[in-house]
Amino acid sequence: MTSPQPRLQSLDALRGLAALGVVLFHYIPYYDKLYGHHFALADSVTGLLEFGRYGVHLFFIISGFVILMTLERTRHAGWFALARGVRLLPALWTGILLTFLMVHILGPADRAVSLPQAILNTTLLHEYLGQPHVDGAYWSLVVEVTFYAWIALLFFGLGEWRRIRWVITGWLMLSYAGVIWWSELSAPIDFWLKDLMFIKYAPLFFSGMILYRQYRQLQPDRFDQCLLALAIAHCLIAYKAPFNVFVLGCYGVFWLAVSGRLTWLANRPLLWLGSLSYSLYLVHQNIGYGIIGWAYAYGLPGPVGILLALGTAFALATLIHYRIEQPCLAWFRNRRAQRPSVAPQSCPG
């Protein structure tokens, strides 16, 4: 792989494309499945957009890569928690508020939650307590935050990568066993494996972490290479064809990006899309469904409703990014710069 760069902008562009794929999947084939569009969908278009749901899997690979990068820049667990909290929570809380209000105004009624349930969503513990999501897309945020907690525990508890990767090896073995016998898992094992250890998705995060190690070290360790192959191969049994092949393709695209072969993606429109990806993900689904439903209620053609939903989602995402995300991140960076005790460190080999 190429030598490390200060910023892998092509990954930002990939994140934006993945977010757009998820949005289009939710607005066209998934909306049609839930509520029914009033226009005919070509099978080829529906089939292509179905792959958009797997944009989340690319998010998870990128998250594994980025989270190890972040951990190596952070000396204390408290600062890591603060960094992740500032990155995720202000935008999330804004998204929860907007989604809660707009769904209660526009619908769909079956997507509305109570105020106590919405408040519980702000902790991202709601799924573990059996409560619904304010927005259906939030399931992946629960997985992300659970991953952050586990990896921080391993990083600050074990320290050395040689120790951490033995835990990852065991986790991968459980992931293989879990997806093979998925339908046979029962409580409490299913809670531990499916929810707390998210065995369907953990290998995606781990592969991103190992790819970051290879990106930094330039000379990949043989153990790490075997572990990476094991993590990547997991998708072939965890997902049905042809979607497992698509996830495998996500790995290929990711590798091309971090090896410097997709720098042409780092253009202004795609980088802008990447900068909005998190806030767009937070506000697009249920708000979009309400707007599409409203458009149908007023007799507007289905494609017009989809365009209105897209426009609204992008407008809200832009507002959240520039008015909430960026100021909060700037505050954190200024505070961190004033504390030399949080200087970067690396995870020893």
Instruction: Report the C-alpha gap between 84 and 80 in whole angstroms.
Output: 6
Structural contact between residues 54 and 67, judged by C-beta atoms closer than 8 angstroms: no
Structural contact between residues 301 and 268, judged by C-beta atoms closer than 8 angstroms: no
Q: Please give the pLDDT value at position 293.
A: 97
For 96-106, what is each residue's pLDDT tens digit? 999 999 999 99
Q: Is residue 341's pLDDT more than 70?
A: no
Q: What is the pTM of this model?
A: 0.93
225 band by pLDDT with thresholds 50, 70 and 90: very high
Pick the more confident residue, 162 or 46: 162
Half-sphere exposure of 331 (CA within 13 A, CB side): 11
Residues 6+ apart with CB under 8 A from 289: 26, 31, 34, 35, 107, 108, 111, 309
Q: Is residue 335's pLDDT more than 60?
A: yes
Q: Please give the pLDDT value at position 6.
A: 38
Q: Please give the pLDDT value at position 7.
A: 52
Q: Please give the pLDDT value at position 188.
A: 86
For 4-41, what is each residue's pLDDT tens digit? 453 589 999 999 999 999 999 999 999 999 999 998 87
Q: Is residue 270's pLDDT more than 90?
A: yes
Instruction: Report the C-alpha gap between 92 and 94 in whole angstroms.
Output: 5
Q: Is residue 46's pLDDT more than 70?
A: yes
Instruction: Report the C-alpha gap between 90 and 240 in whole angstroms.
Output: 36
Q: Which of 24, 111, 13 is nearest to 314 (CA)?
A: 24
C-alpha distance across the termini of the chain, in Å: 18
For 188-204, what is each residue's pLDDT tens digit? 888 989 999 999 999 99
Query: For the chain, what is the largest distance between any 2 Cα atoms, rounded to a whole number of angstroms?
Result: 62
Q: Please give the pLDDT value at position 4.
A: 44
Q: Please give the pLDDT value at position 281.
A: 97
Q: Please give the pLDDT value at position 76.
A: 84
345 band by pLDDT with thresholds 50, 70 and 90: low
Query: What value does the mean pLDDT take over residues 64-88?
Result: 90
Q: Is residue 1's pLDDT more than 50?
A: no
Q: Is residue 271's pLDDT more than 80?
A: yes
Q: Is residue 349's pLDDT more than 80?
A: no
For 134-185, what is each residue's pLDDT tens digit? 999 999 999 999 999 999 999 999 988 999 999 999 999 999 999 999 888 8
Q: How many Cβ atoms sit within 10 Å of the Cβ of residue 160? A: 11
3 band by pLDDT with thresholds 50, 70 and 90: very low
For 236-264, what is each residue's pLDDT tens digit? 999 998 899 999 999 999 999 998 899 99
Q: What's the chain's average pLDDT?
A: 91
